[in-house]
Amino acid sequence: MALSIRPLPGPLGAEIHGLDPRHLGEDDRATLRAAFVEHGALLARNLDLSPEEHIALTRVLGEPAIHPIPTIRMQGHPEIIVLAVDLRSSLAPDDPSADEVIGQIPWHSDLTYTATPSRGALLLAREVPPELGETGYIDTAAVYDALPDRLRTQIDGLHAVHSLGQIQGQIRHAGEANEETEGGSAPQFEQVVHPLVSVHPETGRKVLNISPAFTKAIEGLSAQEGDALLQELKDFATQDRFAYYHHWAVGDLFIWDNWRTMHTATGHRKRHARCMHRTTLAPTANLH
């Protein structure tokens, strides 16, 4: 099998052509690992993966992690979380709320509300709405490179406080199951602290580690100063010029390096169902 890797039409990521997860040779595995590190975001299309195949493909890039929130794990396959919403049976015919957009999740990197955020994720579309429902991605290494010198100097050495509870007021919870709505009040997630600038261990590049949905304060700054700085960083980092929005088709698999990207869900109409399966790469994954 000959894999080819071509850039996505946007500021980050690449598409893998020719991926057949059932027949992966050693060369293909090496190509995938290298592309993952180089591009930080990879798309493959038309994959009809069973849970076992999804998990096996995850092992090419690292060790599958068990997500810390039990209610979203797939029964029989705890390495997979199911991010799904289907409210169709609860909507009366001509229900005026059917066109409401639900399921928006603000920009974040996964699990930064824990001490060891995941290495990455492989998100597979099983059922998608005919409109909306995009996921946006931003390369936070590219964002760091583009920061004005003044901001780079200002954030050097600073640490941000992250908490899952921070997001609870920002999401319209309408029956969708995801980590942000399911885990917010769980007592095991104390707030944690991460450097605002981290150095990616494999590329050596600096990354703006901002995860806006989970970041609530900056250590050593007053609430007012910290909020202002976080807002300025968020406004800079989430400019359209940095973002790629993926419009999903069933069978699309999007793989991201969670240590150098953040993502957002734009939401979709209540009248439509959406179901995604995701595996998570453990932070201990060793690519070499």
Can you give the binding site for Fe ion, defined by CB under 5 A?
A: 110
Q: Which is nearer to Fe ion, 106 or 226 (CB)?
A: 106
Q: Which of 275, 248, 278 is nearest to 132 (CA)?
A: 248
Q: Could you tell me how far CA 83 lies from the centroid of its own chain?
A: 12
In angstroms, give the least distance from the CB of 263 to Fe ion.
6
- Take residue 208 and report the two structure tokens written for it: 């703006």
- Cβ atoms of residues 189 and 112 within 8 Å: no
Q: How far is the CB of 155 from Fe ion (least distance, A)?
A: 23
**CB of 57 or CB of 276, closer to Fe ion:** 276
- Please give the residue whose beta carbon sits closest to Fe ion in the complex: 110
- Measured from the CB of residue 67, what is the shortest distance to Fe ion in angstroms? 11
**Token reading at 24:** 């992966």
CB of 89 to Fe ion, least distance (A): 27
The least distance separating Fe ion from the CB of residue 108, rounded to whole angstroms, comes to 6
CB of 71 to Fe ion, least distance (A): 16
Least spacing, CB of residue 88 vs Fe ion, in Å = 24
Task: Give 15 or 110: the residue with its C-beta nearer to Fe ion.
Answer: 110
> Could you tell me the smallest distance in angstroms from the CB atom of residue 276 to Fe ion?
10
Contacts of 95 (CB under 8 A, 6+ apart): none
Residue (135 or 198) nearer to Fe ion, CB? 135
Give the integer Cα–Cα distance in Å for 216 and 4: 41
DSSP 107-128: EE-TTTTSSS--SEEEEEEEE-
DSSP-assigned beta bridge partners for residue 77: 74
Cα 163 versus chain centre, distance:
16
Determine how many CB atoms are found less than 10 A away from the CB of residue 34: 12
Q: What share of the chain is helix, strand, coil (3-state, %, to 5)?
A: 25, 30, 45
Task: Indicate the residue among 110 and 134 with the shorter CB distance to Fe ion.
Answer: 110
Cβ proximity to Fe ion, 28 vs 79, nearer residue: 79
Nearer residue to Fe ion within complex by CB, 112 or 198 = 112
256: phi then psi, degrees, rounded to nearest 5 = -135, 150
* Residue 28 or 110 with smaller CB distance to Fe ion: 110
Q: Phi and psi at residue 165, in whole multiples of 5°?
A: -60, -25
Give, for 38, the enclosing helix (H) or strand (E). Answer: helix 26-39
d(CA 239, CA 27) in angstroms, rounded, equals 37
